[in-house]
Structure 1
Amino acid sequence: MSISLNPYLNFHGNARQALEFYHSVLGGEIRLMQYDSVPGMMGEPAESEKIMHGQIDTQDGLTIMAADYPASMAEAPDAASLGHSVCVSGDDAERIRALWEGMSNGAQIREPFETAPWGDTFGMLADRFGVPWMFSLAPSSRG
């Protein structure tokens, strides 16, 4: 038996691009399901190529999911809205530093990835899609 908690991000038409970028950084397996895979369930016919559900699963246990809102939900807040962050934390220095570097490409750095007052190596950014991320590396593994 297992249980997991993972982010599910909603976009206004660019979920595919976001998931493909996250896949290029995170690695793992990516699965994309378009609106037209379940006819009549989501959106208008012109929205057939939007992502109804997308998911990335990595070998080290990371999962991120995303979807596009249908046009009828144009006013709904998307993943770039403030009030949340995707957080990556742990003690695998090489992996977390590589993820920081990858996500930094095209991002707005809000806090550089450096030693924080509480001892972790910590940084914050808004990725190229405006999604806020936090990275935290345990102090015993900064090496």
Structure 2
Amino acid sequence: MSINAVAHLNFHGQAREALEFYRSVFDGKATLATYGDFGMPAGLPDAEKVVFGQVVADNGFRVMAYDVPGESIPVAQGASTTRRENGTTITEQPFFLSVRGETVDEVTEYWNRLAEGATVIEAFGPAPWAPAFGMLTDRFGVTWILDVAAGYSQS
């Protein structure tokens, strides 16, 4: 028997846009269903929001997401802050998403795509523990760590 853990992100009106963005970043396929698809009458405020969504890519990337019912909240109001101080990471967030690849070139492509509209916490580059490491909070308020596993090639 095997299992896998998949991050399930909770949004307040941005799930569709976030899933489409992650689909484009990781070259995956997005699947989603709305509350209306599951019987909520059309015209209600939440009917077009995502009740189930996921992105699955051939490279192994997978993430799930949905919109919490109720008022849509702009990301800036609900986003936690994460920052680097004196070589440490300070955050209020309960988790980060980590993407680890085998080569610097491979991970650099994902970094560049995720960085569109993001706040860079630590620029992507060589680190004492990895050929490359970087941290950012994307435009949806999700903080990502991208790195290249130690022992893998730099190209």
Normalising by structure 1, we get a TM-score of: 0.86
Pairwise CA distance, 1:94: 3.0
Structure 1 ranges of 4+ moved more than 2 A: 78-81, 92-95
Q: Return the offset for 1:123.
A: 0.3
**Which consecutive residues of structure 1, in runs of 5 or more, have no partner in the other structure?**
none
**Cα offset, 1:72, TM superposition:** 7.3
Q: Does 1:142 align with 2:142?
A: no
Match of 1:114 in 2: 125
- Structure 2, gaps ≥5 residues long: 81-92
Per-residue displacement from partner, 1:99-136 (whole Å, max 9, x unpaired)? 11100111100001111122341000000111100001
The number of residues matched between the two structures is: 138
SS of match in other structure, 1:133: strand
RMSD of Structure 2 on Structure 1 (CA): 2.4
Distance of 1:142 and 1:128 partners within structure 2: 28
Matched position secondary structure for 1:129: coil
Structure 1 position 29, deviation (Å): 1.0
Instruction: Give 1 or 2: higher helix fraction.
Output: 1
User: 1:64 aligns to what?
Assistant: 63
Taking structure 2 as the reference length, the TM-score comes to: 0.79
Which of 112, 119, 122 pairs up with 1:101?
A: 112
Percent of counterpart pairs with the same letter?
38
Q: How does 1:1-143 map to 2 (within 5 A)?
A: 1-40=1-40, 45-71=44-70, 80-81=79-80, 82-139=93-150, 140-143=152-155
Distance 1:54 1:80, change over 3 A: farther
Q: What SS does the corresponding residue of 1:71 show, helix, strand or coil?
A: coil
State whether residues 55 and 63 of structure 2, in contact with CA within 8 Å, keep that contact through their aligned partners in structure 1: yes
- TM-fit CA distance, 1:92: 3.7
SS of 1:95's equivalent in the other structure is helix
